[in-house]
Chains A and B, each alone.
Chain A
Amino acid sequence: MAATRATRIAALTAGLSLLVGVSACATDSGGTTDDPIVIGASLPLTGEFSQGGLDTQQGYEVWVEMTNETGGILGRDVEIVIRDDATNQNTVVTNYNNLISVDDVDLLLGSQSSLLNIPASSVAERNEMVFVCPSCGSPDMFNRGFEFIFFSQQAVATDQARVFAEWIAALPEDQRPKTAAYPSLDDPFAGPVVDGAEAILSAAGIETVYKDIYPATTKNFDSIVAAIAASGAEMVVQGAQFEDGVNFVRSMNRAGYEPDILYQSSSPTYGQQYFDGVGEDNTQGVFFSSSYNSVASTPGNAEFVAKYEEMFGGIPPEDAADGFAAGEVLKAAAEAVGGIDDQRALADWIRANEVQTILGTLSWNENGSPKGDFLVGQWQDGSAQIVLPAEAATSETIFRWRGAAFE
């Protein structure tokens, strides 16, 4: 009787092994032939950062469409699974865990904002999956010793305003502001942008007369602007997301406060939304840093702009372009390595190489932070222009906020 039971167990075990083996073979076989490559991403499609999240989603979708039209990756079509994290740090972690363990995605793309990508990237790192994020410029992303995280823009937040600040610092003394105010959103990206600018401007002798951090719940900027106006600041450098940037400009108008120079980190890059929020007159002369210029002659940009226009209408916003570029980095790595299974090989390749994207040529430090410089943009006559560096400029004139041009 015991022998019979042992036989049965052995037979069952063998049968199960065969079944598992057959299904594993089937999976392997499908996985290396014609099955689409599934890419997973979580984005803030609702909630506080939905503005940027929806733009990034469009960028991802344009990239998938164009990639499939040109043969996919390694001859396989690409599919993307996007989950909404509602701008919630807990949800974004759950989403990436589910993308990896439930949806069984092959590759990952990042979320939108450092706030969400900091926790999200921990999930990717723990699972040893490459994580190319289109919007994760906080220095806190890259000081954790992670090996699989890459930011697919030109510079981290502390360097985002560097080109702008160095230009201000180099102005002739009679044109250079003497005092500056630095209000900033309490955010791992916005704060370092302001800190980086202040370090350069202070070293140039521009006195800091106001510096403070406000929470994301701040809707009414009247008292903040009144305090800045009372400080007599001739220049304002604001670390802003979107809504706070718009509300800040509205409060400046109500207070009748008009500094010579106004720089906002992210808000002005939201194109039409920003234009509608503050009104055309108030956009004039607003500085911002930008990773993207829609009229740039970078490889593939004209095709991207045309496809975006076809799919969604209008000129692609910066976050859409950043999303597209993240996809380009992932594709370049996969095709150079010749596969997608060895994620460490993909990470090593990205770290050691340059990638041509619609944002320009991107390259990375050991910790996954990018090596380049941002463009400096300025709203002029109702449209966003690139004004610095000179070789990338689309406008040779640089204006004061709602005022005359610099000589």
Chain B
Amino acid sequence: MIALTQTLILGVLAGAVYALMASGLTLIFGVMRVINIAHGAFAVLAAFLTYSLWSAFGLDPLLAIPFIMVVMFGIGWVVYQGAVRHSRGSHVSMTVLVTFGIALVLEGVMGIIWGNRSASIRTDYTDASVEVGPFFFPQVQLLAAAIAVVVLIALYFLLNKTWLGRAIRAASVNESGALLVGVSVAAVAALTFAIGIATLGAGGAMLGAIQPIVPGTHYQWIARLLAIIVLGGLGSLPGAVIGAMIIGVTEMLATTYVGSAWPVAVPFLIIFIVLIVRPQGIMGARLREDLVS
């Protein structure tokens, strides 16, 4: 029972980090129908920026998060205007190609700037744990989970309590209708992409503190993040959180009770089962096109 509880604790903490990173991906898809294959590369970029601030100025990753989010917002906006914007309205496969190209460019740029070698951030809390009875809670993941909660709540308020949020939701539900009521969908799309990358910046900053970073590892992240948002329902923020928790917990349970080789396979098995029962994902809405097909 202790082992099971410990495994669940580790799974929930891992899921919180996944949720923080996946929230921007689902937001971007929800508004723009863009599958951002570069999302993992943006996360690694944020981790490298955090590493530079830490190694050059000794800035703690936690304190660096606001700055990283601002910088990533700017990078997201520029990348959207320079590349992604041109694929909007195209078939979704075109957005996959464009963002895959962006991922390759980002990987190359990171390789030039930081080299294709591992970089590690080490602070007082990266290797420490909080012990409660027989259980341990890794501090860095506790902090990441806390940041995930703050960022996701902020995102929820942004989407539900602000004019921009209403515009984003309007654009995601009915682009033509949003245009008719005066929403500048093009500007909203750019802002949404930038906000999605900014929230990812917080996750990337913590990623750098959790593990060593190498430019080429972004493929592994995008595979996991796409699985999460498909499971939760493409475009659904609560779905991304639920999907992240399910993936995080099942990865840990599979490792402990099935075998270390299974944490990739078991979550995907669950995704297959869920998608057979609910093709739109746990929280996803069925679209008119789905019903027609």
Residues of A within 8 A of B (CB): 45-48, 50-51, 53-54, 86-87, 183, 186, 212-215, 217-220, 222-224, 226-227, 230, 242-243, 246-247, 250, 253-256, 270, 273, 276-277, 279, 282
Contact = CB atoms under 8 A, between A and B. Distances in A.
8 contacts: A51-B118, A223-B252, A224-B255, A226-B3, A227-B3, A227-B256, A254-B136, A276-B122
A46 B116 contact: yes
Interface stretch (B125-133, B170-178, B229-237): B125-133
Contact of A217 (B128, B214, B220, B259): B220
Given A223-B7, A254-B138, 14 more contacts: A54-B115, A87-B216, A213-B259, A214-B261, A218-B263, A222-B10, A222-B138, A222-B141, A222-B252, A223-B251, A226-B256, A243-B211, A253-B128, A254-B140
B161 interface: no
A230 to B, nearest CB: 6
Please indicate which of the listed interface residues B107, B118, B212 has the most CB atoms of chain A within 10 Å of its own CB: B212
Interface residues of B, number: 43
A116 B223 CA distance: 23
A48 B214 contact: yes
A54 B117 CA distance: 8
Contact of B127 (A215, A220, A227, A254): A254
Contact of B14 (A214, A220, A253): A220
A215 B261 contact: yes
Interface of B: 3, 6-7, 10-11, 14, 107, 111, 115-120, 122, 126-129, 131, 136, 138-141, 210-212, 214-217, 220, 223, 251-252, 255-256, 259-261, 263-264
A268 B259 CA distance: 25
A224 B260 contact: yes
Given A51-B117, A223-B7, A227-B256, A255 B136 contact: yes
Contacts of B141: 222
Contact of A246 (B6, B118, B215): B118
Contacts of B120: 246, 273, 276-277
B115 A242 contact: no
A222 B259 CA distance: 14
Contacts, number: 122
A273 B216 contact: no
Contacts of B129: 253-256
Nearest to B14: A220
A250 B220 CA distance: 20
A247 B138 CA distance: 13
A250 B208 CA distance: 13
A88 to B, nearest CB: 10
A45 B111 CA distance: 10
A318 to B, nearest CB: 15
A279 B122 contact: yes
A273 B10 contact: no
B10 A217 contact: no
B212 A247 contact: yes
Nearest to B252: A223
Contacts of B214: 48, 50-51, 243
Nearest to B138: A254
A48 B264 CA distance: 17
Contact of A186 (B122, B126, B261): B261
A226 B223 CA distance: 26
Nearest to B17: A220
A219 B122 contact: no
B255 A223 contact: yes
A212 B216 contact: no
Nearest to B139: A254
A91 to B, nearest CB: 12
Given A212-B259, A254-B128, A256-B131, A243 B212 contact: yes
A219 B10 CA distance: 13
Q: Which 9 A-B pairs have the closest CB atoms?
A: A253-B127, A214-B260, A50-B116, A47-B216, A212-B260, A254-B138, A277-B120, A223-B255, A223-B252
A276 B117 CA distance: 12
A277 B117 CA distance: 12
Nearest to A257: B136
A227 B212 CA distance: 23
A223 B220 CA distance: 19
Contacts of A223: 7, 10-11, 251-252, 255-256
